[in-house]
Amino acid sequence: MTPLNTAPNIDDPDGFYAELVAAHDGLTPDDSAALNARLILLLANHIGDRATLRDAIEAAKRPNFSG
């Protein structure tokens, strides 16, 4: 099992956030939700490890998901 890394780990996090927000430009709320779902499934598939994904779900449920 790969432990869930919640430490900052993205090069240029502000740039990534801007790209993520821009990907939603012009989308309806339903299309935006569908984009988020597809992105989550693609990244989950990339991670692949069910235990790590389970840890990520639990971490994301917390208001402050770090560590």
pTM of the model: 0.84
And the tokens for 52? 């790590």
Q: Is residue 11 part of a domain?
A: no
CA–CA distances in Å: residue 18 to residues 29, 44, 47, 58:
18, 21, 23, 26
Q: Is residue 66 part of a domain?
A: yes
User: Looking at residue 48, what is its pLDDT?
Assistant: 95
pLDDT band at 66 (very low <50, low <70, confident <90, very high): low
Q: Is residue 9 part of a domain?
A: no
Q: Is residue 22 part of a domain?
A: no
- Mean pLDDT taken over the chain: 93
Question: Domain limits at 53?
Answer: 28-67
- pLDDT tens string 10-27: 999 999 999 999 999 999
Q: Is residue 40 part of a domain?
A: yes
- The two counts, helices (H) then strands (E), for the chain are 3, 0
Indicate the burial class of 11 (C-beta count within 10 angstroms; 0-12, 13-18, 19 or more): exposed
